[in-house]
């Protein structure tokens, strides 16, 4: 769940924030005049129009869980109950993210997705309708309260260790790498011409730049680099839309759903891979019993080699991005994506012409596609895929995610997504800190009897295909055992 930094048209909320800032400066021993002025202005306003505060309504979990529909959405954060129904369509992270947590405790996911919860509190205040009754636990009764407390203590420890503070020099080097590769590709074709060998060589250079761009925009999308979200958003648009030609809003709406309900069927769009594939243990059996056969799913692991991985980027993701931009009228994204194609035609058009430049773009995305496909799927497809079980945040992420072993090459090749467990638990954490917190996460898993899966990267790649083959076999068995009615 993501909220913007600046509240719109709510003076009282701004005053509240300014009061907080002024008080904080005083606590630090540096009370500026502006802080005092804001404080006195707020006090004066309170003297003039202070009204007696009404006590908050109190609710049980049974009452809250009834408000889990798209037209009636309540959720709980730190024991406070919020009605987010009217806010859902304006939610910067997408309305579906809120709907996925309607009727549930969202304390940990809220903290995970927002780097500065104090700012977001400005938006939450008008949505507050009550609090949990005193006799109610902090989260639903089916959740492991001790595990929840231990995870929250772990997060506080990591915050104290400054694990959420970014080393901007690290990310600057990654950006420099991308820009140098893009420039080098043009210099090579300008100096050596546009022959086949040169074209293949520059396609490889551009492929590396494209793959590293999607990893770096991923960091920006999680607001893990700059303190101000606007700079993260701007750089994400530059990397995702200008350098890669994909819609930033489309990516964020899809990606945030994946994060908040990882590997949950019907809620995580990354496992909605039909009709070409079926994944997990439940959907294949249901498809088999109901005689659903778009293709021969028993051979879907072979389709992944031949069609899925090569066409993921140049066909599926590109078409999805364009369709979303058109239907949702993302005019800003359309402008940014148009600049991607304009840049290619200006830089490579004189050497290849319009058709040749389009071929170069497609060839680059074709080469990038297996890279991104394997890296993005190795941590989730082989893991637990289930229907909604409303587990605690820590268990949900650990059971649905695995790591690949660390090495300098693995870190670079995957954009540090070989640490998917740590990334999913702490999405706003800068990726250069994942390896530092991994031992603490592993220790917490051991304490509560949860698996911490870490495997060689090549095995992780192979497990994608093995998982698809297993799902295909489950479909085949169910298909053959249940004759048509």
Q: Is the pLDDT of residue 34 over 80?
A: no
- The pLDDT tens digits of the residues spanning 396-431 come to 999 999 999 999 999 999 999 999 999 999 999 999
Instruction: Report d(CA 414, CA 166) in Å as an integer.
Output: 19
| pLDDT score, position 16 | 37
Q: Which of 362, 441, 356 lies closest to 402 in space, CA to CA?
A: 441
pLDDT tens digits, 468-478: 999 999 999 99
Residue 1 has pLDDT above 90, yes or no: no
Residues ≥6 apart with Cβ < 8 Å to 215 = 174, 414, 415, 416, 417
Worst-scoring range by mean pLDDT, 130-134, 143-147, 291-295, 411-415? 291-295
Position 27 pLDDT exceeds 60: no
Query: Quick one: pLDDT at residue 305?
Result: 85
Global pTM value: 0.86
Burial category of 322 from C-beta neighbours within 10 Å (exposed 0-12, middle 13-18, buried 19 and up): middle
SS3 state of residue 69: strand
Written as six digits, the tokens of 436 are 């530092």
Per-residue pLDDT band at 54 (split at 50, 70, 90): low
- Quick one: pLDDT at residue 22? 39
Mean pLDDT of 118-137: 91
Q: Write out the CATH class of domain 57-141.
A: alpha beta
25's enclosing H/E stretch is helix 11-27
pLDDT in tens, 454-469: 999 999 999 999 999 9
Q: Please, which residues have CB within 8 angstroms of residue 328's CB and are 6 or more apart in sequence?
A: 249, 250
Residues in the chain: 485
Q: What is the pLDDT of residues 366-404, one digit of tens each?
A: 999 999 999 999 999 999 999 999 999 999 999 999 999
Q: Where in the chain is the domain with CATH 3.10.120.10?
A: 57-141
The tokens for 444 are: 């917490």
CA distance 210 to 367: 10
User: Among all chains, which residue has been given the structure tokens 């502006």?
Assistant: 34
Q: How far apart are CA 57 and CA 79, in angstroms?
A: 12
Whether residue 1 contacts residue 110, with contact meaning beta carbons closer than 8 Å, is answered with yes
């Amino acid at each position: 769940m993501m909220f913007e930094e600046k509240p719109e048209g709510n003076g009282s909320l701004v005053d509240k924030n300014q009061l907080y800032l002024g008080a904080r400066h005083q606590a630090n021993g540096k009370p500026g005049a502006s802080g005092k002025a804001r404080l006195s202005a707020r006090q004066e306003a309170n003297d003039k129009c202070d009204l007696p505060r009404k006590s908050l309504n109190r609710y049980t979990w049974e009452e809250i869980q009834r408000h889990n529909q798209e037209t009636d959405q309540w959720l709980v954060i730190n024991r406070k109950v919020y009605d987010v129904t009217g806010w859902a369509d304006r939610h910067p992270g997408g309305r579906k993210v809120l709907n996925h947590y309607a009727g549930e405790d969202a304390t940990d996911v809220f903290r995970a997705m927002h780097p500065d919860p104090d700012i977001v509190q400005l938006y939450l205040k008008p949505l507050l309708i009550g609090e949990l009754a005193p006799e109610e636990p902090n989260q639903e009764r089916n959740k492991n309260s001790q595990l929840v407390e231990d995870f929250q203590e772990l997060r506080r420890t990591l915050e104290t260790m400054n694990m959420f503070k970014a080393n901007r020099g690290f990310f600057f080097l990654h950006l420099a790498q991308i820009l140098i590769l893009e420039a080098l590709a043009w210099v090579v074709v300008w100096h050596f011409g546009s022959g086949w060998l040169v074209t293949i060589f520059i396609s490889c250079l551009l492929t590396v730049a494209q793959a590293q761009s999607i990893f770096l925009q991923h960091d920006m999308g999680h607001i893990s680099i700059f303190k101000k979200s606007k700079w993260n958003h701007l750089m994400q648009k530059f990397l995702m839309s200008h350098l890669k030609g994909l819609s930033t809003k489309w990516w964020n709406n899809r990606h945030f759903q994946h994060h908040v309900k990882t590997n949950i069927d019907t809620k995580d769009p990354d496992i909605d891979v039909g009709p070409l594939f079926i994944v997990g243990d439940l959907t294949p059996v249901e498809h088999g019993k109901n005689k659903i056969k778009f293709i021969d799913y028993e051979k879907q692991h072979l389709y992944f080699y031949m069609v899925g991985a090569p066409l993921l980027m140049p066909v599926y993701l590109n078409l999805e991005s364009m369709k979303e931009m058109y239907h949702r009228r993302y005019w800003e994204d359309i402008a940014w994506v148009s600049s991607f194609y304009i840049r290619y035609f200006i830089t490579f058009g004189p050497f290849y012409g319009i058709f040749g430049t389009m071929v170069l773009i497609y060839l680059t995305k074709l080469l990038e596609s297996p890279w991104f496909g394997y890296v993005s799927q190795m941590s989730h497809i082989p893991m637990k895929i289930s229907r909604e079980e409303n587990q605690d945040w820590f268990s949900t992420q650990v059971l649905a995610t695995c790591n690949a072993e660390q090495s300098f090459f693995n870190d670079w090749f995957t954009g540090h997504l070989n640490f998917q467990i740590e990334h999913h638990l702490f999405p706003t954490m800068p990726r250069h800190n994942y390896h530092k917190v991994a031992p603490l996460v592993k220790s917490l898993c051991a304490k509560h009897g949860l698996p911490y899966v870490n495997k060689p990267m090549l095995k992780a790649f192979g497990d994608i295909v093995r998982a698809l083959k297993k799902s295909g076999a489950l479909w085949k068995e169910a298909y053959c055992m249940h004759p048509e009615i």
